[in-house]
């Protein structure tokens, strides 16, 4: 009898604590935000991801009625900044900027200080950055199919540059290599600038990167664009076919930028943040500013962003394992 009463008391206390917790979350969400927000960018200042974060921050600040401060915490292949976010209080005041590294690091890195799938909650996908695959004019290939045929005829003779091991520029080219089964050699550099210079000089044959950096060199003839890496053509280079159109079905790669929060952030706060991000992205002037860094505004729901991350995790795991890429 006593044990039955004890169980009922425990159940009652558990239910009461759950109600109190839910009420606390609801009350917190109603007053949110009551102080400035921090948006952690896991890179040094500069670059498309940092630029996108800094472009959207003022609009978010305007919409939320609080300052939104962008803070750079670079290092550890983005893990230092993202670990800071993962361990921050789940109150909606510390957010993280995730990009393609967020999806490749779990497989690429031998050690991770957090669990990508468990320690964050997706808030929204902010922007997509298509890449274009280009070659030095000395490469005797005027199409993707000709490039594939050349690489298969001369295994290991062609090389490609990237902005570093594990970078989006490497991943985009490794996906191409994975799907076409060609043998080309990776030459990593410490940033997009040196990687671009290497292909402009003819030191390497192939480079796959965002469009704005390469567009002037397409016009001058110093680089030859072969394909866009997304499923739709890009208006800045409308004459360049997509990879699928060029003969590589199933290919889609892009850099992307999204906002995540620490796990256990109240759903009401995640919803509010998502609504304000989508609202900010609808501003015409933001689209124009995004275009300068080759980005296109997206504006997804949290569920759509979660599905995107899961898809990216699965795809890049296959590519990285097949290429036997590992960073210790």
Q: What is the CATH number of the domain that holds 154?
A: 3.40.190.10
Measured in degrees and rounded to the nearest 5, phi and psi for residue 123 equal -105, -50
CA–CA separation, 200 and 81 (whole Å): 33
Domain hosting 273: range is: 35-128+254-323
SS3 162: strand
Please say if the pLDDT value at position 270 is more than 70: yes
Domain count, the chain: 2
144 in the same domain as 199 = yes
The DSSP secondary-structure symbol of 229 reads S
* Beta-strand relationship, 94-98 and 159-162: unpaired
Is 40 within a domain?
Answer: yes
SS3 109: strand
Which of 228, 246, 266 delimits the end of a domain?
Answer: 228
Closest CA to 116 of 252, 317, 273: 317
285 in the same domain as 224 = no
* pTM over cut 0.85: yes
Q: The CATH number of the domain where 284 resides is what?
A: 3.40.190.150
Is 27 within a domain?
Answer: no
266 in the same domain as 120 = yes
Buried/exposed code over 227-243 (b: 16+ C-beta within 10 A; e: otherwise): bbbbeebbeebeebbbb
Is 8 within a domain?
Answer: no
User: Which of 5-9, 66-70, 144-148 is predicted least confidently?
Assistant: 5-9
Is 248 within a domain?
Answer: no
Which of 212, 228, 244 delimits the end of a domain?
Answer: 228
Closest CA to 315 of 158, 149, 174, 157: 174
CA–CA separation, 203 and 201 (whole Å): 5
Closest CA to 161 of 228, 201, 206: 206
Is 1 within a domain?
Answer: no
117 in the same domain as 145 = no
Please say if the pLDDT value at position 279 is more than 80: yes
Please say if the pLDDT value at position 115 is more than 80: yes
115 in the same domain as 169 = no
Distances from the Cα of 221 to the Cα of 200, 212, 215, 217, 265, angstroms: 10, 15, 10, 6, 51
146 in the same domain as 119 = no
Is 73 within a domain?
Answer: yes
Closest CA to 85 of 74, 94, 76: 94
CA–CA separation, 220 and 238 (whole Å): 17
pLDDT band at residue 327 using 50, 70 and 90 as cut-offs:
confident
Please say if the pLDDT value at position 159 is more than 70: yes
């Amino acid at each position: 009898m006593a044990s039955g009463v004890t169980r009922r008391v425990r159940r009652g206390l558990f239910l009461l604590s759950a109600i109190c917790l839910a009420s606390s979350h609801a009350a917190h969400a109603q007053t949110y935000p009551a102080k400035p927000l921090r948006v952690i960018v896991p890179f040094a200042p500069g670059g498309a991801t940092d630029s996108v974060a800094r472009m959207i921050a003022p609009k978010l600040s305007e919409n939320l009625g609080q300052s939104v401060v962008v803070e750079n915490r670079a290092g550890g292949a983005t893990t230092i900044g993202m670990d800071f976010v993962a361990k921050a209080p789940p109150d909606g005041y510390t957010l993280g900027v995730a990009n393609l590294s967020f999806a490749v690091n779990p497989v690429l890195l031998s050690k991770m200080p957090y669990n990508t799938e468990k320690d964050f909650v997706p808030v929204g996908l902010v922007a997509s950055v298509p890449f274009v695959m280009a070659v030095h004019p000395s490469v005797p290939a005027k199409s993707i199919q000709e490039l594939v045929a050349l690489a298969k005829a001369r295994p290991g003779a062609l090389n490609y540059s990237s902005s570093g091991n594990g970078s989006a520029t490497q991943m985009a080219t490794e996906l191409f290599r994975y799907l076409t089964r060609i043998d080309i050699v990776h030459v990593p550099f410490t940033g997009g600038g040196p990687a671009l210079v290497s292909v402009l000089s003819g030191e390497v044959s192939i480079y796959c990167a965002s469009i704005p950096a390469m567009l002037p060199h397409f016009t001058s003839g110093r680089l030859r664009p072969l394909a866009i890496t997304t499923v739709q053509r890009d208006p800045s280079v409308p004459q360049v076919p997509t990879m699928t159109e060029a003969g590589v079905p199933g290919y889609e790669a892009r850099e992307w930028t999204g906002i995540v929060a620490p796990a256990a952030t109240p759903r009401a706060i995640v919803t509010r943040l998502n609504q304000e991000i989508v609202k900010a992205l609808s501003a015409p002037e933001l689209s124009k500013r995004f275009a300068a860094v080759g980005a296109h505004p997206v504006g997804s729901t949290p569920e759509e962003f979660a599905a995107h991350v899961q898809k990216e995790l699965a795809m890049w795991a296959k590519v990285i394992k097949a290429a036997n890429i590992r960073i210790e």
